[in-house]
Amino acid sequence: MEISDILDAVRNGAQATSQDVVKLLSAEGREMEELFAEAREVRDRQFGKHVFAYGFVYFSTYCHNNCTFCYYRRTNSIDRYRKSPEEIISLAADLKDAGIDLVDLTMGEDEHMYADDYSELLEIISGVKKLGISIMASPGAVKKEAMPKIKAAGADFYAVYQETHNRDLYSKLRLEQDFDFRYNQRVWAREAGMLTEDGMMVGLGESMEDRADAILTMGAEKCEQIRCMTFVPQAGTPLQTLEPMDSYMELKSIAVMRILFPDRFIPATLDVEGIEGMKSRLDAGASTITSIVVPHRHLAGVAQPEKDIESGGRSVQHVFDLVADMGKRIATQNEFRSMIDKLEERIRPKP
C-alpha cells in the first residue's frame, strides 16, 4: 500500500498494522509532508486552536539507576542538586501565575525521596496541589502501594517511560531494571485513578519495527499522553560516542501517533532541540508543549541539561508568544482542568 492509501484507510476507521506503521515512518519528501499535513488536520479537529503548556521542575538529579543513555546515571561524576519542598512549591507557583496548565514534577530515582514511605515526595506533590494547578508526577518506578498515596496527594498524571518495548534492547539501556515492573507502573497508576504517560526514544539502536511496535503498544496501553524523543548522546555515559540522528524520525513518530490516536496529548518537547524545535513538532501534530522551565532558578533539563534554560528560551512568555505567532493559543488552566476532570472521571476506580 502507498502512504496515501494507508492514511485513507485509517481515516475510514481501519486499524493500522505494524507494517502500515513502518511504511508511514519511512515517508520521505512529498509523502512526509502529506503525513504531517494529515496529522495537523487530525490534531486541529480534536483540539481546535488550543495548545497545552506544561512547566517542568526537575527537582532532584540524584538517581540510583545506571541507565546507559542517561546523563544522571549514578556512576556519572557530575554536579547534582536536590531542591527543598519550599523551593519546588515556589517554582510551581511561578509557573501557575504565568498561565502554565500543568506542572511536571520530575526527579531521578532518588533514594532520599523514596525514604520513609515516600514522605517527602508526597509532601511536595501535596504542597504544589494546594496552589490549584494540575500535576504530573514523574518520580520513576515506585512500589505499587505508593500509587494510591501519590494520587491522594494530588497527582493527576503519572509518567514513566519505557523508552523501548523491545525487551532485549531495554536490558541494554536500563541496566538491572525489570521490564515488567516498569511497564506495570502505568497499569498500577491507572488502577489508582491517575492518567498515564508512556514514551519512546529513537536513535538508540532500535529497528523500524521496534519503533512501530512501541507506537502501537503505547496506543494499546490507553495512556492519555504518549511521546517520542530523539536520543541525545550524553557525556560520561557508555553511549556518549553514539552517532546522533536528526529529528525527522521523532517528527514522523509524532505524526503517526497523532493519526492513529487522535485524542491523546502528544508533546512537543523543548528538551531536545530547545525552542528552535518547537514549531516543527507542532507542525508534525503535537498538541502539548513540555519542558517549559523557569530561568535563573538553577534547574536542569533531561535530554539537554542546559539547553535554552538560563537564556530564557524555554520561559513561559517566550513560548506563549511563539504559539500565538502560529495562530494558536495556550489553553487556560480552567479549560485544561475541565478536560482532565472528564478523563479522570472515565478511569476513576469504582467503589
Whether residue 174 is annotated as binding a ligand: the answer is yes
Q: Does 18 belong to an annotated binding site?
A: no
Q: Is 69 annotated as a binding residue?
A: yes
What angle (nearest 5°) sits at the alpha carbon of residue 190, between those of residues 188 and 193? 115
| Residue 30 counted as an annotated binding residue | no
Task: Determine whether the annotation assigns residue 161 to a binding site.
Answer: yes
Q: Is 227 annotated as a binding residue?
A: yes
Q: Is 106 annotated as a binding residue?
A: no
Residue 104 labeled ligand binder: yes
Q: Is 186 annotated for ligand binding?
A: no
Q: What is the DSSP annotation of 191-239?
A: HTT-EEEEEEEESSS--HHHHHHHHHHHHHHT-SEEEEEE----TTSTT
Kindly state the cell numbers that stand for 125: 506533590
Contacts of 49 (CB under 8 A, 6+ apart): 327, 328, 329
Is 311 labelled a binding residue?
no
Of the candidates 217, 269, 219, the one whose C-alpha atom is nearest the C-alpha of residue 247 is 269
Full DSSP string of 269-337: ESTTTGGGGHHHHHHTT--EEEEE--TTS----SSSTTTTSTTSTTSHHHHHHHHHHTT-EEPPHHHHH
Question: Is 168 assigned to a binding site?
Answer: no
Please enumerate, by residue number, every residue annotated as part of a binding site.
63, 67, 69-70, 104, 138, 161, 163, 174, 182, 227, 290-291
Please enumerate, by residue number, every residue annotated as part of a binding site for S-adenosyl-L-methionine.
69, 163, 174, 182
Please enumerate, by residue number, every residue annotated as part of a binding site for (3R)-3-methyl-D-ornithine.
104, 138, 161, 227, 290-291
Please enumerate, by residue number, every residue annotated as part of a binding site for [4Fe-4S] cluster.
63, 67, 70
